[in-house]
Structure 1
Amino acid sequence: MSRSRGPGWVPNQHGAWAMLASPLAVGILAGGPAWVHLPLTAFWFVGYFAFFATSLWLKAGRRARYRPPVRTYGVAALVLGVITVVAQPGLLVWAPLFLLPLGVGLAAAAARRERELLSGLATVVGSGLMTVVAYAAGPGTDLTRAWLLALVQFLYFAGTVYYVKSAIRERGNDRFRRLSGAAHAGATLVVLTFSPWLAVVFVLLTVRAVAVPPLGASPKQLGIGEIVATTVVALVSLLTV
């Protein structure tokens, strides 16, 4: 998309792609693939485009030049959502669970506080929920496992909210870095209760959360590290949970 078309057409939050892809992929792989995953995947990604465009529009004070992508992606997401529900009506039961994180995210954008912790963690909740939805859309029947996998996704990505913030916007803030380390350590203890192997991964993530921010890594280096970490967490959770 060219800049002449106006803002909001292409999301610029690069870290969001992992939060979109990983929970969806984990849910599909754990529960087994089904045809309904095709429209569900399209709805999930286009829905994010609509959320991003709407957030930008709200942040900009609802200015008219920000409105076209909101309308376009909003209508596309609605159509894809209807197709998904028609293909598998039972998935509609999960929709209310997304209302709170969606509302928090949009309210934060309207207040220009979208980069605060509460907004980031609300986004992570919505992301993690997709693990259960994608699982339920397939032939899998063990929802307890689906919720545990969703919990892993939430704990991991919640940790990245702290970690990335401590390495960029809060770089040099030792108090926030310690808070990030404590959040990672807490997540490790939770994971230890159901997957010792995954707990080992979270121990390494805790060490990273404490040791890496003072090194002054670039956003590109942090991004590459996140790709690797996201992949490892997803694979180990699928194999051990």
Structure 2
Amino acid sequence: MKIVVPNQHGAWAMLLIPYILGVAASSFRLIHIPLFIGWFFLYLATYPLIMVIKGNQVSFYIKWAISYFFISFVFLALVMFAEWRLIYFGLAMLPFFLLNIYFVKRKNERAFTNDMIAIGVFCIGGLASFYIGQGALTSEGWSVAILVFLFFLGSTFFVKSMIREKKNKRFRWYSWGYHFIALLLIITLKDSWLWIIPFVPSLIRAISLYNKKLTIMQLGIIEIINSVIFLVVTSFLFL
């Protein structure tokens, strides 16, 4: 039997990095394990659910959606039994998911706004991870969400400038300008210039690789490497 999993490979980094940074910025607790499992299967459930909304093989995908949601519910229920306030994070995700459904219905899932919405959802996952480790949402927890949002928004600009908008010269300047602005924002928000280090590779690749003939696989590998660098360096700075 073919296992149904999301086909957007970049989203896996968005799933993992905010969560791991939430742990790095707070402290690891055993409850992080069932929380992640629940979060993981909740993410898996979104893909077959979207297929159902699109009307693609409804009977097939709805079984997978229900299965994933059930597993997610079991683990998240265990976590909320220990910390019921996590329900607020789930409620915060709901408007984002409804907006995602709106774009699916419009057959415009690749819209830039929809990408921002997806990043926002994963940032909430990072906030939940931080909250579990810290017991409260402090400024450090919000900085996790901000840094992750800025990083993945940069990835969105870069990938679109290389694929869908590669012939759009104006979008090139949007991408480059955003990466410079992100560095300025980080310098403003954080108390040390060291925090710009995880974002420097993003700026370099956005400028140096523009207009280069790269395959989708090559772009994916570049983004994986860049994401790993961001994760490792940012985790070190939080420790």
TM-score for the superposition, normalised by structure 1: 0.89
Q: CA deviation at 1:140?
A: 6.0
Where 2:211 maps in the other structure, the secondary structure is helix
**How far apart in 1 are the matches of 2:5 and 2:16?**
17
- Match of 2:28, SS state, is coil
Q: Cα gap change, 1:210/1:174 in structure 2, threshold over 3 Å: closer, same or farther?
A: farther
In structure 2, the gaps of 5 or more residues are none
8 Å CA contact 1:55–1:109 kept in 2: the answer is yes
Matched-pair contact (CA < 8 Å) for 2:179–2:202: yes
Q: Is residue 208 from structure 1 mapped to residue 181 from structure 2 by the alignment?
A: no
| 2:62 aligns with one of 67, 81, 97 | 67
Determine if contact 1:59/1:111 at 8 Å carries over to the other structure: no
2:237 to 223, 237, 240: 240
Identity of aligned residues (%): 28
Q: 2:106 aligns with which of 106, 111, 118?
A: 111
- Mark the CA change 1:185 to 1:73 in structure 2 (over 3 Å): closer, same or farther: same
Report if the CA contact (8 A) 1:191-1:199 is conserved. yes
Q: Distance in 2 between matches of 1:199 and 1:29?
A: 18
From 204, 215, 219, the counterpart of 1:218:
215
Q: How many residues align?
A: 236
Aligned-pair CA distance for 1:136: 0.9
Query: Does the Cα contact within 8 Å between 1:129 and 1:150 map onto a contact in 2?
Result: yes
CA 1:39–1:24 in structure 2 vs 1: closer, same or farther (change >3 Å)? same
Q: Distance in 2 between matches of 1:33 and 1:87?
A: 15
In structure 2, how many angstroms separate the alpha carbons of the residues matched to 1:34 and 1:136? 11
Report the RMSD for the aligned CA atoms in angstroms.
Answer: 2.1
| Structure 1 unaligned blocks of 5 or more | none
Q: Which residue of 2 aligns with 1:46?
A: 41
Q: Take 2:233 and 2:64, find their aligned partners in 1: how far apart are those partners? A: 38
Q: Indicate the SS of the match to 1:220.
A: helix
The aligned counterpart of 2:97 is 102
Larger RCO (CA within 8 A; separation ≥ 6): 2
Q: TM-score, normalised to structure 2's length? A: 0.90
Contact 1:192/1:198 (8 A) holds in 2: yes
- Checking the alignment, whether the CA contact within 8 Å between 1:26 and 1:234 is kept in structure 2 is yes
CA positional deviation for 1:142: 6.8
User: Residue 115 of structure 2 is aligned with which of 107, 113, 120?
Assistant: 120
Q: Is the 8 A contact 1:11 1:49 kept in 2?
A: yes
